[in-house]
Every structure is written in C-alpha cells, then in structure tokens.
Amino acid sequence: MKLLVSFLGRIDHKEAWILQTRLLGLRLMDQVPDILLLLEHPPTVTMGRRNNPQNLIVPVQKLRQMGVDVYRTDRGGDVTYHGPGQVVGYPVFHLGSHGMRVHDYVYNLEETGIRCLHDEYQIKAVRDETHRGVWVGLKKIMAIGCAVKHRITMHGFAFNVSTELNHYSWINPCGITDRGVTSLCEHTGQKHDMWKTAEHLMKYFSRQFQVTPELISSRKLETLALEGQHENAQA
C-alpha cells in the first residue's frame, strides 16, 4: 500500500490539527491513501483527554506570557510538550484497511522508534507496557499519543532529537513523575540533524507498517486537503 509523506517544517499545532482533520475526512471516503505528516512545532504544551490539571506545573496564563502555545486536544493521554528540535509524526492511517487494532498500531509506532534508534544510532531502546512510548533506560525519548475516529488515526508520536529538555520542567510529562526525558543529542553527546532523523523515522515507519512511501510537497498536500473539503461540501 502507498503512504504519502509530507515534510511540513515548523507549523502551529492548531494548523496541523486542522490539516489532519481535513485529511481524515478524505481518508474516510477513500479519496487519499494513508498519509504521514512529519513536522516541528514551536514551544507548545498540549493536554490530552486524560489530562490531570496537577500535571501542569506552570499555569496556562504564565506559559502564554512566555510565548508558549497551550492547547486542549482530542488525543489520548495526559499533558506533553512539543518544541523545536523534536520530530513530530502525525499518521492519518486507516487501521481497518490494514486489519489492525489500536494496540497493534501503538506497538508498531513504538517499534518504529526502537528499530530506528538501534539500527541508525546503535542505541538500545525499549517499550514499557505501563508507560507507552520509547525509553532509553528510565528516560523517554519518543512519546506517543493518538486519537482514532472511524478507525482512522490522528496525532501520533514525538521524537526528541535536540529538544530543549528543560522545557519539560513546565509539566509532569504524561503524568509521570518518577522518570525523565532525554533526546538523541543528549544521549549521544553529539549533534544530529532533525530532518535527517525524520527521514530515518519515515523509513522505519514504512517498513514496520509495510507501506511504500511517496513524498508529496506541503503545498500540494494542503491543496489536496482544501480541494477535497470543497468537493465534499458540494456533494
């Protein structure tokens, strides 16, 4: 099966959510194949459906005064951070067409990160059935938070490459207080290009989900989403 992949650069979380929503509608009507959006957000705190207000250490008003975007979102999980130096992957992926359950999907997202770290960077990473995501020791390097509507996914994963880890002090990431977070650069002590890592993640995602990636420009993708929305409105 084909997978359209678009590298969107740095965009606002709300803008990415609107794009995902439009693409989900097109995917539901089988007007587009599965899609993987790879991007970066400005400093952003998002609160999932299971958000506990106590896990937001710095108040919302203070964060916004600091120039940090804050959003409530429809993904699963608690509070998390997105920011520069982090590869964010948003698959708009039809679980039904792959005969896949949500548990299988999350497992495969984790496996994407684990294999990428092992094969490209010689880093041993693991999953934890209690705390989802990808871990290097007791530090999370890739977070996972998904929403599934009509068996089609939104949101996805966030892989720390050169992320400002001190920004995680604003929250209890995913509600976890007894573990830490890390990044590829922190763990290796070397600089790594974020978009090169994004290309690696695309490769391992494609292998894990047994799809064939096809690059599509951000402009063409946005045009596709807008045209599809207009056609559906007229139908």
Average pLDDT over residues 92-106: 96
Q: pLDDT digits over 59-84, tens only?
A: 999 999 999 999 999 898 889 999 99
Which residues are designated catalytic?
174
235, pLDDT greater than 50: no
**Among candidate residues 211, 197, 190, 189, the one with its CA nearest the CA of residue 93:** 211
E strand segments, 15-168: 34-40, 44-47, 69-72, 79-82, 86-92, 134-136, 139-149, 152-160
> % helix / strand / coil in the chain, to the nearest 5?
40, 30, 30
Choose among 70, 6, 65: nearest CA to 42: 70
The pLDDT value given to residue 76: 85
Q: Which residues fall within 8 angstroms of residue 94, CB to CB, at 6 or more apart?
A: 27, 34, 151, 152
Would the pLDDT of 219 be above 50? Answer: yes
pTM: 0.94
Distance CA 226, CA 47 (A): 27
Residue 227 has pLDDT above 90, yes or no: no
Region 162-184: what's the mean pLDDT? 93
With beta carbons less than 8 A apart as the criterion, state whether 20 and 52 touch: no
pLDDT score, position 228:
64
Query: 102-159 pLDDT, tens per residue?
Result: 999 999 999 999 999 999 999 999 999 889 999 999 999 999 999 999 999 999 999 9
pLDDT of residue 224: 86
Task: Choose the CATH number for 2-226 among 3.40.30.10, 2.60.120.560, 3.90.1150.10, 3.30.930.10.
Answer: 3.30.930.10
